[in-house]
């Protein structure tokens, strides 16, 4: 091979690598923004469910929204969840005997949030970050097993990077192929 041909091959290879890096960077940016949007929507859904449950439980209406927002903020933190507040609150209501109805409603609210999150979050996260829900779920679980609470955030972002690398190498632009 001549020197000219070698230089052309190197130049073509460098352009392809630059395109792949650019595509992965763009996908990562979209994925990060999608991750933030998905978390925001989960926060809103959580606040709504909590507000409804806490209002039905008999909490004074002036406190329903502030309590719901605080519990939803706690729910955003990895490992901690709304159960850190709702379950002790329900237990205290039960054992003090003041309001067994409140205990039942708070426990049901927690179960609705727990089951709803398992159904809604992978789909919402997958749609927002451009990765299939199962892959998002798989990487979230693997991330949490390997890195603990930080892995819950790092896992889906790693899925975005890996998926965008595969897409860039295959040359497809559609995030679902």
pLDDT by 10s per residue, the chain, length 177 = 566 665 565 666 667 777 777 777 777 788 788 888 988 999 999 999 999 999 999 889 999 999 999 999 998 887 778 989 999 999 998 888 877 889 999 999 999 999 988 888 878 887 887 788 888 888 888 988 898 888 888 888 888 888 888 877 776 665 555
Taking the domains of the chain in order of start, what are their residue ranges?
Answer: 28-170
Residue 121 belongs to what H/E stretch? Answer: helix 100-129
pLDDT digits (tens, 9 = 90+) for 120-139: 887 888 788 778 888 888 88
Q: Is 86 left (phi over 0), alpha (psi -120 to 50) or beta?
A: alpha
* Burial (CB count within 10 angstroms: exposed 0-12, middle 13-18, buried 19+), residue 74: middle
Dihedral sign from CA coordinates of 94, 96, 101, 106: negative
The Cα 44–Cα 3 span in angstroms is: 61
The half-sphere exposure of 118 on its side-chain side, counting CA atoms within 13 A, is 5
Distance, C-alpha 64 to centroid of its chain = 25
* Burial (CB count within 10 angstroms: exposed 0-12, middle 13-18, buried 19+), residue 120: middle
The half-sphere exposure of 145 on its side-chain side, counting CA atoms within 13 A, is 6
- State the DSSP code for 150: G
Instruction: Please give the radius of gyration of the chain, using alpha carbons only, rounded to the nearest integer.
Output: 23
């Amino acid at each position: 091979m001549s020197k000219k041909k070698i230089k052309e091959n190197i130049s073509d290879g460098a352009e392809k690598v630059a395109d792949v890096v650019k595509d992965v960077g763009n996908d990562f940016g979209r994925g990060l923004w999608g991750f933030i949007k998905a978390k925001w929507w989960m926060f809103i859904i959580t606040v709504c469910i909590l507000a409804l449950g806490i209002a039905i439980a008999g909490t004074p209406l002036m406190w329903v929204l502030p309590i719901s927002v605080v519990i939803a903020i706690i729910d955003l933190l990895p490992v901690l969840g709304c159960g850190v507040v709702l379950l002790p609150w329900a237990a205290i209501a039960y054992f003090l005997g003041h309001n067994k109805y409140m205990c039942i409603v708070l426990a049901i609210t927690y179960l609705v949030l727990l089951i709803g999150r398992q159904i809604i979050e992978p789909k919402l996260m997958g749609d927002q970050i451009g990765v299939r829900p199962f892959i998002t779920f798989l990487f979230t679980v693997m991330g949490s097993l390997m890195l603990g609470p930080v892995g819950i955030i790092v896992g889906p972002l790693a899925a975005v990077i890996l998926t965008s690398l595969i897409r860039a190498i295959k040359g497809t632009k559609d995030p679902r192929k």
